[in-house]
Amino acid sequence: MRWAPRDADPVATFARVPTECLAPPRDPASALSVEVGRAAFRTPVLLGGQAGRAGLTCETCHKAGRGNPSFLFPGVSGPPGTADVTDSLFSSHRGDGIDNPKPIPDLSAAKAKLKIAQAPAEHRLEPFIHGLITEEFDGPEPSKAVLAGLADYVRALNTAACPAAATEPVTVGYYLADARRALQAAKGEVAAGDAPTAILMIASARSRLGLIDERFAGPALSAERRQVRAADRRLAQAQDALRARHPDVPAALDAWLRDSRGLEARLAAKAPASLFDPRRLTQAARRRLPG
Ligand code: HEC
């Protein structure tokens, strides 16, 4: 809410998201790469720096890989829906001292409409994304698999794959589905022996739990928040186990994935009392204090 105009329609802006236009490749290795990119796109840990600390992800600006007409970040946006990605607030490398916000592009637009050529042979997309992460957003050097994954994810965004509905509701299930996909990608990277990438994938799942947690605000939902945080702790332990080269991480992730079904049912049952409920969300948006 802090990154949207005060008069933004709460339901359209926070209770619904655009649908994702993703055409996943068939062969398993490319499909895994796209899923790695999809998860990396959805965690602030990728960006690090000021942007990461603020909780910004690629997906904050490119919602579901698309645009974000209500994005308004003080000092970074001009009119809503724009961002100056050469702004010194985020970047110690690229801050150009010039205020030049640009509209946030829909990455699933027709490829011909986009500025950066995506054909692998042109070698433009990976360097562009690398520059975004390490210079524009001051993030740490991404692993090879993460950089390739992000480029493959952007390439797999495709207007032709847009679902019939333009938007969908934000629910507990929506975020947990993302978390599960990130953990499947983590398992794929564990199998490939790439622990750093697997750790980032788990971070992405944890970021999605964070978005659930913030909508379960308030004393009446403390029991549910405890469950979300317990689920998060298990994922933090899986990250530690990967760092310590424990062999049993895939089994721990499988157990988490199984248990996430029960967690989803319990949280969904309480969702009407949370900020997943459009009416409560609207009331909360109205209560926002200046500043
Ligand atoms: C603060 C908002 C913001 C964030 C965060 C952000 N972007 Fe962007 N992105 C933009 C804007 C604005 C442009 C258009 C820049 C221009 O026109 O010069 C853009 C352009 C792009 C393009 C080029 C589109 C084209 O026309 O070819 C790609 C690809 C892209 N972003 C991917 C990413 C990825 C991957 C991340 C995460 C590492 C990311 N973006 C994070 C705002 C953002």
Q: Are residues 24 and 154 in the same domain?
A: yes
Do 191 and 143 lie in a common domain?
no
Cα separation, 137 vs 108, whole angstroms: 22
What residue's CA is closest to ligand 1, atom 16?
A: 102
Contact 201, 149 (CB under 8 A): no
Residue 7 lies in a domain: no
Q: What is the pLDDT of residues 185-223, one digit of tens each?
A: 999 999 999 999 999 999 999 999 999 999 999 899 999
Give 252-256 contacts, CB < 8 A, sequence gap 24+: 253/183, 253/186, 253/187, 253/190, 253/202, 254/187, 256/183, 256/231
For residues 34 and 129, state if they share a domain. Answer: yes
Q: Mean of the pLDDT values across residues 180-188?
A: 98
| Chain Cα centroid distance, residue 162 | 19
What local confidence, expressed as pLDDT, does residue 291 receive? 39
Mean pLDDT is lowest, of 2-6, 123-127, 163-167, 260-264, for 2-6
CA gap 151, 125 in Å, rounded: 6
Ligand 1 centroid to 274 CA: how many Å? 32
Q: Whose CA is nearest to atom 2 of ligand 1?
A: 61
Task: Please give the Cα distance from 186 to 205 (Å, whole number).
Answer: 9
- Asked if 154 and 202 sit in the same domain, the reply is no
CA distance 144 to 115: 23
Q: Is a pLDDT exceeding 60 seen at residue 50?
A: yes
90 shares its domain with 184: no
**For tokens 């992000």, what's the residue?**
150
Q: Are residues 121 and 191 in the same domain?
A: no
Task: Evaluate whether residue 13 is within a structural domain.
Answer: no
What is the number of structural domains in the chain? 2
**Closest by alpha carbon to 238, among 213, 205, 264?**
205
**Domain end point (choices 142, 161, 180):** 161
94 within some domain = yes
CA of 45 to the centre of ligand 1 (A): 17
Global confidence as pTM: 0.96
pLDDT digits (tens, 9 = 90+) for 95-145: 666 678 999 999 999 999 999 999 999 999 999 999 999 988 889 999 999
Instruction: Look up the domain containing 32 and give its range.
Output: 20-161
In this prediction, residues 223-238 reach a mean pLDDT of 98
Per-residue pLDDT, 49: 82
Does residue 144 sit in the same domain as residue 269? no
Q: Are residues 121 and 233 in the same domain?
A: no
CATH code: domain of residue 67: 1.10.760
Grade residue 258 by pLDDT with cuts at 50, 70 and 90.
Answer: very high
Tokens 């360097």, located at residue = 127
Give domain status of residue 263, yes or no.
yes
Ligand 1 atom nearest to CA at 116: 27
Residue 27 CA to residue 265 CA, distance in Å, equals 33
Same-domain status, 239 and 137: no
Residue nearest to atom 11 of ligand 1 (CA): 104
Looking at every residue in the chain, the average pLDDT score rounds to: 93
Cα of 29 to ligand 1 centre, how many Å? 25
Atom number of ligand 1 nearest to Cα 118: 27
pLDDT band at 88 (very low <50, low <70, confident <90, very high): low
CB 200 within 8 A of CB 146: yes
Among protein residues, the one whose CA lies closest to atom 5 of ligand 1: 58
What pLDDT shows up at residue 289? 54
15 located within any domain: no
